Structure 1
Amino acid sequence: MLDLAAAHPIFHWRSVWLIIAAFIAGVLNAVAGGGSFLSFPALLGTGIQPVQANATNTVALWPGQITSIAAYWEDVRKNMRLVYPMGLAGLIGGTGGAIVLLITPQTTFMKLVPWLLLIAATIFALSRPITRWLDRRAVARHQRAGTEPQPPRRRLVFLCTVVVCFYIGYFGAGAGFLIITLLSVFGVEDMNEINALKVVSTSMANGVAFLIFVVSGNVEWRYCLMAMVACAIGGYTSARFARLVPQQVLRAMVIVIGFGMAAWFFWTTR
């Protein structure tokens, strides 16, 4: 197994780098997304096993996600007809993904890491163009004479959400946008409704993964607590940062970090 702490001198200062990376991850998650591109490699850099690093990252970042439910509570309450199945899909998919992660050999997961980072970075990079396409699609649908918006096909939405939430339980970076795209494709057009359903499904998937990782003893608490506190502080201070840096610049930073981390892991695990 690759020991990043031994491979590069920057990781001699493990805790300092983790705190800095988690703080920046908290800022990015609050204003643009993609914080896992920094926090997960930083946890790997402490020298812990890859599976434990991923589990610790999930536990460290999950409390910040829960606060989003409170922010969207009115929209959650208005859409209970979809909230319950989306939440159930999150529980089922997240449970499956977390269990499969824990039975994945460390060396196998380490070989998957660059591919997972590449997939997540690609999802993030394509999110804006796809969102614009979905917006044009919705406008065109409304412009057709006599056409009424079609309700989402709940069974298919449920099954697709289970698949996405399996990925969330297993790795998770970039999955929030997958939920947004899924709901948009199936006819949900109100962005507040979409965000509310996204928050419910991803929080449930990460929440059940949180419990599984904690109960199974795969969380490195000495690093988890550092990352959790630093991430929370980063999220809290993100408003000032967001006003200083344009969204396009933040997104570009996340994309560069994501592809850069993927390339670095492809190189070091070859």
Structure 2
Amino acid sequence: MSEPFTAALLFGVGLLAGVLNVMAGGGSAFTLPALIFLGLDGATANGTNRVAILTGSLFAAAAFRREKVSRLRRSLAFGLWTLPGAVAGAVAAVRISDAWFQRILGLVMVGVVVSMLLPRHEDASTTTEGTSSWWIYPALLGIGFYGGFIQVGVGFLLMAAFYHLLRMNLVYVNLHKVTVVLLYTLPALAVFAWNGNVDWVLGVSLSAGNALGSWWAARLAVRRGEGVIRLVMILALLLMAARLLGVI
């Protein structure tokens, strides 16, 4: 496979993943298989994907700030709770065999799709700041481990935690989500890089598309509000289902 084609493929996949990760979740369900398809082993694909996740989260956070939607102190407080779990998860990810990683990845992708098919109770009382609940802290610790370990679908988990536990408006759910992911991805990526599980060349191509998709999606989320976020969540579900069924 030629280098220009590989770069173009990863840019396109990264663009799609960036939009999905900001507006809903599940972008890594496309980037990880793409990296494995290009010949990377499971751990290196997992680590290389973090380069794009970090870049996309940074651009999304900057886009939210440019649109004057920011709660940086609160986002950082949430993110700090994910750090211990993220480091532990990344260490676990680089130590398991490639075969086991791909088995777990397959099960996780099925689980994410099934969870999105479950009936969802809509609560109209969501607000910008949300409510307070101590359950959010152990939830973030567990989500941090999951994010550090495999990443796929972590956006859905964070959205569920902020939306259902704190009853927060979906625009601000996504704001906190991208900042939390940005924060815990830093030590997770460091663990993968330290163990030599990052292909920086492929990571740059993937990151370019991810950055553009994330920037555009964050601005769209602010300007169009909760309606467009719900629409993209439905599309994300359909795309993930099609990917699992081998349609795309």
The interval holding the TM-score normalised by the smaller chain is: 0.7 to 0.9
Q: 207-216 or 23-32: which moved more?
A: 23-32
C-alpha deviations, 1:142-167, integer Å up to 9, x for none? Answer: xxxxxxxx95233x321111001111
- The code of the aligned residue for 2:243 comes to M
* 2:133 is equivalent to residue 135 of structure 1: no
TM-score (norm 2): 0.76
Q: Deviations over 1:77-99 (max 9, x none)?
A: 4xx4x545422212112111111
Structure 2 match to 1:104:
96
Q: Report SS of the residue matched to 1:219.
A: coil
Aligned equivalent of 1:153: 133
Secondary structure of 1:189's partner?
coil
- Whether the 8 Å CA contact 2:21–2:214 is kept in 1: the answer is yes
Instruction: Kindly state the Cα deviation for residue 74 of structure 1 after the two structures are TM-superposed.
Output: 5.7
C-alpha separation in 2, matches of 1:193 and 1:45: 35
Q: Normalising by structure 1, what TM-score?
A: 0.71
Given that 1:117 and 1:261 are in contact with CA atoms closer than 8 Å, whether structure 2 keeps it comes out as no
1:24/1:153 CA distance change after superposition, 3 Å: closer
Task: Give the deviation of 1:115 after TM superposition.
Answer: 0.8
> 2:176 corresponds to which residue?
197
Question: Partners of 2:21 and 2:8 in 1: how far apart?
Answer: 20
Structure 2 SS opposite 1:185? helix
User: What is the alpha-carbon distance in structure 1 between the residues aligned to residue 236 and residue 33 of structure 2?
Assistant: 14
Output aligned runs, 1:165-244, within 5 Å.
165-191=144-170, 193-235=172-214
Deviation at 1:236, TM superposition (A): 5.2
* Residue of 111, 120, 123 corresponding to 2:112: 120
User: How many residues are matched?
Assistant: 234
- CA distance change for structure 1 residues 176 and 16 in 2, over 3 Å: closer, same or farther? closer
Higher relative contact order by CA 8 Å / sep ≥ 6: 1 or 2? Answer: 2
Instruction: Give the equivalent residue in structure 1 for 2:46.
Output: 54
Q: Residue 8 of structure 1 aligns with which residue?
A: none
Equivalent in the alignment of 1:23: 15
* Residue range with higher mean Cα deviation, 63-72 or 22-31: 22-31
Residue 241 of structure 2 corresponds to residue 262 of structure 1: no
Which residue identity is paired with 2:51? Answer: V
Which 5+ residue runs of structure 2 have no aligned equivalent?
A: none
Residues 68-79 of structure 1 correspond to what in structure 2 (within 5 A)?
68-70=60-62, 71-72=64-65, 75-77=70-72
- Assess if the C-alpha contact under 8 Å between 1:37 and 1:257 holds in 2: no
- Native 8 Å contact 1:165 1:201 kept in 2: no
Q: Is the 8 A contact 1:34 1:124 kept in 2?
A: no
Say if 1:20 and 1:180 are closer, same or farther in 2 by CA, change over 3 A.
Answer: closer
Q: How far is 1:214 from its partner?
A: 1.9
Cα 1:182/1:233, change in 2 over 3 Å: closer
Aligned match of 1:94 in 51, 69, 86?
86
Task: Determine the C-alpha separation between the residues in 2 that align with 1:161 and 1:24.
Answer: 26
Q: Percent identity?
A: 23
Instruction: Tell me: CA distance 1:208–1:47, structure 2 relative to 1, closer, same or farther (3 Å).
Output: same
Cα gap change, 1:197/1:14 in structure 2, threshold over 3 Å: closer, same or farther? closer
- SS state of the match for residue 123, structure 2? helix
